[in-house]
Structure 1
């Protein structure tokens, strides 16, 4: 993983914590949440305050996410909103934290000037030891306060102020006045400078979870289903009509079509379909070269395509199917019939413009894993797992490609690939109190 870290492709955009004051505040919050502390004098944190260095020190990568269910967080600065979320167990967690920080930024800025803010993403279950428990998760609420209880004290002081103003004899209540003065020393003047965080609740209908080998739950779809990476039989009976795993290619394709979740790349608007398909073909060649033990060090796009021409008879079915699709797109060939049981089928699709497009692209990335660029953009956890098993020559080629072709212009690369609103680094969840009506997709999947 060293070359990924050096190129900013892993642990990129983390927030450095090197000030003794911030380290002390972090330790106070860490003790408050977990009873643990760190001996490190400097480290880096993600959007939730998780530090890979502290995780290594404690021997626990889930020290802020015990059980992988209710993520705890430590906010030292509002700048954490730009950081990634490491060791994500749910696809919605980073989006929830980011929205929480953005919508409460002035208040959090004021609070973190003196202390840090600690809290938890709370749902209705505390353990997902059984797959059925995932269906008890309906919404996620954000609970937060400073380690000194500033918000709790501010609410208490606000109530005292109301009592003082509203009750006739309160002017003579020396105990009430003394308590107000004591609290005001910690909270400031809550009548002139009220510090309150918005109560935020997020719907949890459609999401990915890392639990049980990786599951995509589409509970809010018109035709609900669960799609599991591992054998669906191991999940047992789930409280949803359909359960598929990655071997059920035809059923997954029908699920996409019935819910209008995908569209063919060659018929999508706003993208250069031929360029996208040709790049996918290059990645398939790279994968085949790895299997053949070929050295790709320093290989250019021209080298990859020369390699494809010289070894065309040995390339997999995916390559030849995409080549025919490119010929059709460039008006040089007949429409190729690529059915859902063909290994190239999911390489030909992208998510339609629906509220779940990021989740769908995440799933498509796993169904078409040789497209390493989409896998990296849409599902970093799956990318890192796959990367660990590649040969050194493929690791080098992919790291160089992503550094050269993606890191230089992330927004432009995503726009070129996905056309309509380019996907976020991670999907944004829906607010419970601000849900919008589902918009119609661009049309059902055309045959």
Structure 2
């Protein structure tokens, strides 16, 4: 995996924790949430504050995600909003964290200037022991505060101020006044600069989860369904016709579900798409997959070299290759229209999601149904990509890593728009924004007054 890390294709865009002071802040939050601490002073965290290095040290990569259903998080900086979410159990978690940080950026910027923030994505389910428990999760509430409890104290002070203003005898209540002064030393003047985190409730509609071997739950569409990656018996589910899940191998049922809900479109008919270039690249990936198993030399391949490999291993090329080749000939204007049914292994290679709210989720599903297209797999389903990558011959690992670094990494947004259409920024972590001036974020007086 070092090849991917070196090329920025794995653990990229993480927030760097460097130095004793910042590590101490992290430890205070970590102990507050888990009772554990790290001895490290140099590590990298994702949007939730999870650090692979700390996970290795603690021998627990779910140290911030117990039971895999109530994600805890540590914020050291609002810059974490641009980081990926590692060890994700739900496809919705990163989006919720990013929205929370963005919606409360000014407040969080000021609070993290002095302390770490510890929080949790809370739902009504505390453990997922049955598949049906997943469908009890409808709303996610974000609870967050500094390790010293500034947000909570600000809420208490605000209530005290309201009481003080509404009571006629409040001027003679020495205890109330003393408590207000004590809290104000911690929070500053909350009447001028309120400390309040808003936008803390989020809906979880359609989602993917890694639980029970992997599930795609589409419950907010016209004809709901659950698509199961594993062959595990999931029992009766409160989604879909008859309450049963569709297996990933039931291709015709999946195709009908996608069509009935108008979720996908053929690549060759999509607007603003160079279908010929996309199909050629899919064919190239299939050729490389076969050639790598035959230990062919894959260094610095040109288009001519790939054609040569296709001829050499023509008898070994799978059905997907031959079907996509027919579609490519039609797209280039030199062949008949091929009839491709859902039973054809190439069927899902020919589709992409239509523009809608669940575009990322549908493209993620399509990537899992067309895993020889390594570029789409990397963009849409990174965890599965990394899992598959570990099983590949070294020749294929080198080719794919070089291709992604050369053709995708240099222009992520452009590549995503070319493949999936405009408006797909959520598929990939955005580049780090330039640091904003403090005055632009919190105003000339600051969001939290310092005590003398």
Q: TM-score, normalised by structure 2?
A: 0.92
Please give the per-residue CA displacement for 1:185-214, whole angstroms capped at 9, x wherever unaligned.
000000011111004211112000011111
State whether structure 2 residue 96 is matched by structure 1 residue 114. Answer: no
**Separation in structure 1 between the aligned mates of residue 27 and residue 424 of structure 2, nearest angstrom:** 38
**Separation in structure 2 between the aligned mates of residue 411 and residue 300 of structure 1, nearest angstrom:** 25
* Residue matched to 1:345: 347
Residue 330 of structure 2 aligns to a residue in which SS? helix
Deviation at 1:90, TM superposition (A): 0.3
* Residue matched to 2:82: 82
> What is the aligned residue count?
427
**Separation in structure 1 between the aligned mates of residue 52 and residue 104 of structure 2, nearest angstrom:** 26
* Residue matched to 1:104: 104
Counterparts of residues 158-197 of structure 1 (less than 5 Å):
158-197=158-197
Counterparts of residues 288-437 of structure 1 (less than 5 Å):
288-425=290-427
The verdict on how the C-alpha distance between 1:323 and 1:70 changes in structure 2, with shifts beyond 3 A counting, is: same
What is the root-mean-square deviation in Å for CA atoms of aligned residues? 1.4
**Separation in structure 2 between the aligned mates of residue 219 and residue 244 of structure 1, nearest angstrom:** 13
Which 10-residue stretch deviates more, 97-106 or 240-249? Answer: 240-249
**Separation in structure 2 between the aligned mates of residue 391 and residue 18 of structure 1, nearest angstrom:** 36
* Residue matched to 1:31: 31
Deviation at 1:304, TM superposition (A): 1.9
The verdict on how the C-alpha distance between 1:400 and 1:427 changes in structure 2, with shifts beyond 3 A counting, is: closer
**Separation in structure 1 between the aligned mates of residue 224 and residue 102 of structure 2, nearest angstrom:** 32
Please say if residues 128 and 134 of structure 1, whose CA atoms lie closer than 8 Å, have aligned partners that are also in contact: yes
Residue 235 of structure 1 aligns to a residue in which SS? coil
Deviation at 1:426, TM superposition (A): 5.5
Counterparts of residues 231-250 of structure 1 (less than 5 Å):
231=231, 233-240=232-239, 241=241, 242-250=244-252
* Residue matched to 2:63: 63
* Residue matched to 1:281: 283
**Separation in structure 1 between the aligned mates of residue 421 and residue 382 of structure 2, nearest angstrom:** 20
Q: TM-score, normalised by structure 1?
A: 0.93
* Residue matched to 2:442: none
Deviation at 1:309, TM superposition (A): 3.1
Deviation at 1:81, TM superposition (A): 0.5
The verdict on how the C-alpha distance between 1:291 and 1:26 changes in structure 2, with shifts beyond 3 A counting, is: same
Uncovered stretches (5+) of structure 2, i.e. residues with no partner: 431-452
Deviation at 1:370, TM superposition (A): 0.2
* Residue matched to 2:449: none
Which 10-residue stretch deviates more, 286-295 or 46-55? Answer: 286-295
**Separation in structure 1 between the aligned mates of residue 64 and residue 31 of structure 2, nearest angstrom:** 11
Deviation at 1:243, TM superposition (A): 1.4
Residue 227 of structure 1 aligns to a residue in which SS? strand
Deviation at 1:234, TM superposition (A): 2.0
Residue 73 of structure 2 aligns to a residue in which SS? strand
**Separation in structure 2 between the aligned mates of residue 306 and residue 201 of structure 1, nearest angstrom:** 56
Please give the per-residue CA displacement for 1:51-93, whole angstroms capped at 9, x wherever unaligned.
0000000000000001100000000000000100000000000
**Separation in structure 2 between the aligned mates of residue 44 and residue 59 of structure 1, nearest angstrom:** 16
**Separation in structure 2 between the aligned mates of residue 427 and residue 245 of structure 1, nearest angstrom:** 30
Deviation at 1:423, TM superposition (A): 4.8
State whether structure 2 residue 183 is matched by structure 1 residue 217. Answer: no
Please say if residues 90 and 207 of structure 1, whose CA atoms lie closer than 8 Å, have aligned partners that are also in contact: yes
**Separation in structure 2 between the aligned mates of residue 229 and residue 301 of structure 1, nearest angstrom:** 35
**Separation in structure 2 between the aligned mates of residue 399 and residue 41 of structure 1, nearest angstrom:** 30
* Residue matched to 1:271: 273
* Residue matched to 1:441: none
**Separation in structure 1 between the aligned mates of residue 369 and residue 73 of structure 2, nearest angstrom:** 32
* Residue matched to 1:433: none
* Residue matched to 1:19: 19
Uncovered stretches (5+) of structure 1, i.e. residues with no partner: 429-447
In the TM superposition, structure 1's runs of 4+ consecutive aligned residues that sit over 6 Å from their partners are none
Residue 233 of structure 2 aligns to a residue in which SS? helix
